Amino acid sequence: MSVFLQTACDKIIKEWSHDRDITSVNCKYVAMEPNITTTDYTTAYQWNKLNKSTLVKQIDGITHYYSKCGEDVNKSDVDNYERNLKNRNFNSFENYTNVFMEIWRTSFPDGTNKDNWKKQTKCTCVAFLKYHKCKHMVGIAARLKFVTIPIEAKTVPIDQKRKRGRPCKTKPALQRQPNETLINNQSSDDVTSEDEPKSKIQRKRGRPKIIKKYYINII
């Protein structure tokens, strides 16, 4: 223990303070909010497309969104979750994991908007506890219109992971591009007789006839 504390004080804290000194040219800035990547948007979009039911409950000025792994969540599951969270009477660690790893609770405090939703949002899932971001927070933020999922994040089919590298923003030839807008067809009343296309001449089926020309030699 003494060796760890000495190493932490002499090396770790010292190097940390030097590396993150604002006056330094090579300063390593501390991230104040998570960086949402295209992969995060893709997983959130796919999670929303599954149309899983979420229950909403407001407690002490915080709006909680409850979702369940693999199936839809119901009111009894949420009440049992909140009761266990308040009492915290667990006989074993397995009982604890069975309760808190079955339902994910994504929390949005009052006053959350488009500017601060990355800082304010919290979730109880494993991904958020490790990376401070998850598909639940991004997916629900998209439902609340706090963020817009980009077009390139919607090109991956459901249940498939995004490949490494920058996503392609254009599709192959002879396919409609994502950034193209659909042009509304004009009504038949607006089309004048001059704009109507000429009717095509219908050809008869079969091989075309070959007209032979005969030349008479005049002696």
In the chain, domain spans = 32-154
Residue 190 has pLDDT above 60, yes or no: no
pLDDT band at 189 (very low <50, low <70, confident <90, very high): very low
pLDDT bracket for residue 164 (50, 70, 90): low
Q: Which residues pair with 109 in a beta bridge?
A: 62
> What is the tens place of the pLDDT at every residue in 90-122?
888 888 888 788 889 999 999 889 999 998 999
**What pLDDT does 109 receive?**
92
Rounded CA-CA distance 96/20 in Å is 38
Q: How far is CA 25 from CA 18, 19, 32, in A?
A: 11, 10, 20
> What is the DSSP secondary-structure string of 122-158?
EE-SHHHHHHS--HHHHHHHHHTTSS---GGGG-SPT
